[in-house]
Structure 1
Amino acid sequence: MRYLLLISADESRVDDVVDGDGLRAFRAWLDDLLARGVLTAHEGLHPSHTATTVRVRCDEVLLTDGPFIEAKDQIGGFAIIEVADLDAAIEVAAGHPASRFGQIEIRPVRTP
């Protein structure tokens, strides 16, 4: 089954964790998933202030700079994995270094 991992945390902490040790931990996690053949995609995102949120109300396109929901924690990246079940997805998510200071939301991916 495919799962989307939404990786989010307090953006103000990014510089604290994306240093030598944090980068090595992330690389080890990524290399493990690649070796196991369960990683379909993984992408990091630019900071939330670069976002544009689109809503359509009464046929009017409304744009908001940045994320629509104001919160300290923002989505910083995502991964798509293919594993046997939710327990396996939880194990993968718990291994992501960001789970130590942020959170990983796991969502099953719909199949067409």
Structure 2
Amino acid sequence: ENLSDEQLYQRFWEMTAKVVDPLLELGQKHTTPSIERSVLLRMGVSSLEAKPIVEGCIDRGLMGKGAGHVVYKLAKAKGISIRDAGILLAEGKSWDEAVALFQRKEV
């Protein structure tokens, strides 16, 4: 096919979406508490904090969003470090705010 630069650009992103979308779906539907704790550990959250964060995500229906994503969004919204956001959640604090961050419509 002889595609213009714009058509080639569009085709590239269409094909990329076809490859990436199933991977995203797998990650959203097939995560486990163990995987989520592992992600949190790599983000700098201690193992003692990771367990209550993952349990909090499960209790609030946020597992599909990813525990690391929950901590990251809370940190960004509050203007604090990921570590500090993790500590808050592990202590049972700021969960209402975290849940609300995922209820808003993203534009």
TM range (shorter): under 0.3
Larger C-alpha radius of gyration, 1 or 2? 2
TM-score relative to the length of structure 2: 0.24
Structure number having the greater strand percentage: 1
